[in-house]
Amino acid sequence: MSQTHDANKQSSTATVVEARESLVLIQIDEDASVKKNEVGFICVGDERLKAETLRIRGRTADMQVFEDTTGVRVGDKVEMTDEMLTATLGPGLLGRVFDGLQNPLHDLAEEHGFFLPRGVSAPPLPLDEKWEFKPVAKVGSRIPPGGVLGTVQEASFTHKILVPFNEPEPVEIAWIGDGTFTLNDPIARIRSGDVERELTMLQHWPVRRPIPDPLLRRRFAERLYPDEPLTTGTRIIDTFFPIATGGTGCIPGPFGAGKTVLQSTLARYAAVDVVVVVACGERAGEVVETISLYPETKDPRTGGTLMDRTIIICNTSSMPVAAREASIYMGVTLAEYYRQMGLKVLLIADSTSRWAQAMRETSGRMEEIPGEEAFPAYLDSSIKSVYERAGVIQCPDGSHGSLTMIGTVSPAGGNFEEPVTQSTLGTVKTFLGLSYDRAYKRFYPAIDPLISWSRYLDQLKPWLSRELTTTWVDDVAQLQELLRKGDSINQMMQVTGEEGITLEDFITWQKSVLVDMAYLQQDAFDDVDACMPRERQLESMRLIKRLVDREYPFANRDDARDFFTNVIGLYKNWNYSAHGTAEYDRYKAELELATTEIKEVSP
């Protein structure tokens, strides 16, 4: 193997002296040593419960247990492994469902049934499956850490077998294989000085440590910053609140506001190669829906199913707290692994509120000084440390990989002022705030354009100006200002009625309604409108700008209302029409006509 890894390896022992739900206090043996974040196993009869060291104080240590601790008693033996919580990396990860410790849930269900006994585990990847390995490196060549040894075909992707990331310097290839191998078979032999050792297609990485950016190993190198938007096919995101490829975003919103539907749409249509979904605490019913839906959903990018290029980390709200807390780190590590191959990866964490609540429970049991609303004082730094693992890297072979991270947040009562939401907003650069009022009106997506924002607009301006139009950012700013004016006028009308505002203000409000109803909203269940390519978004943007920029000689409010109601209907029908069809051309022609003349204006 590329690294020594044996979950059952015992390097030191300890004894349980206290158990508080998922937290266990251990006494370390005199001749043993324990490290922070080291993994150990608590022996309860024939069961071995996996745990992680959180804090060490002298000869005692606190460990969070990833299983139900019923039956754990004072005096139980603890076997330490001298290893961190690690992810197993290699071909075969795509299309699989893991728990937060990377146990394959389907394999465990087949062996133990749907009610899993505690203390059981299984290899994350099928070790007996054979892969056709094609070497890229040559004997005698020196390959840097993260460099490509060879490739295997995984689903529709060319999976690159990489030099272990923890190598301190480039390695010399003494021998490299060519043919069919299992994951444990040697596929290369590397030389370091006079010492040679074998590599397999597997390697392991501690999940709480970011996989290093190869570029940053060089002196005076700077981190690459995202300069290209992530195309999602959702107009309000791509146009008003873009997320950069390799950037970060969050989707906070109350229950029932459409977070799950929106994340499914992003997973299906976003311009990425690999999707990692981390269900770190959602209700089991929603996770089951995701697991059931993805294998049946056609992937518009590959023609296969969406599950073929997806990894799901499943830790529902009913699973142990410690495993829920670890799941997001496991998901990020798997996402980083595919990024190191030069692929575009999207990680969706649903929802980070449950992850933060898991940290709060563990912190409370450790009797740490609490922060706001009893969350740990280090909540802000923990959230930042996760989102900072997103980014764009330059791989040793010259390709560029990216990890885009989007977290959904479920603040109680839709209160965006609570600590998890505020800490997240201080970290990410795109905020897509979902509104209960818009969701109640059946608006989709229920992203509120008046509270949402993106700090990427200026950063992405060169790309937007070059690929779309030089006035794109200014056009977006004008439409956002129109929406704000329309909202102010609408609030005034709630008090005074339509008669209390001028005809000019009424027309301005109707223009804002047109932008909202015809452009910002989409139909997630329509094959055409669910995803709009950027070229068509540009075409639609130009048309709607012409509609709202022109002056309208209406004599009264009824004429204005009738006109804009008709235009909204035409626009929606145009959105539903596939490009190049007769309906598409007909509705576009009628909308073009509406930008130049007004019919049936009252005298």
**Where is the binding site for ATP, in residues?**
253-260
Q: Which amino acid is at 536?
A: R
Report the distance separating Cα 85 and Cα 566, nearest Å. Answer: 60
Binding-site residues, in ranges, read: 253-260
Helix (H, G, I), strand (E, B) or coil at 400: strand
d(CA 449, CA 326): 34
Q: What is the dihedral of CA 539, 545, 550, 553, to 10 degrees?
A: 90
Q: What is the 3-state secondary structure (H, E, C) of 87-118?
A: EEECCCCCCCEECCCCCEHHHHHHHHCCCCCC
The closest of 371, 373, 368 to 55, measured between CA atoms, is 368
Q: Using DSSP, how many helices (H) and how many strands (E) does the chain show?
A: 16, 25
Neighbours of 54 (CB within 10 A): 17
Strand, helix or coil at 199?
strand
**Contact predicate 69/285, CB 8 Å:** no
With vertex at residue 592, the alpha carbon angle to CA 586 and CA 593, rounded to the nearest 5 degrees, is 90
How far is 98 from 277, CA to CA, in rounded Å? 10
**C-beta separation of 428 from 248 below 8 A:** yes
| Token pair of 467 as six digits | 């690929």
Q: Say how far residue 288 (Cα) sits from the centre of its chain.
A: 18
* DSSP letters for 47-101: EEEEEEEEEEETTEEEEEESS--TT--TT-EEEEEEEE-EEEESTT-TT-EE-TT
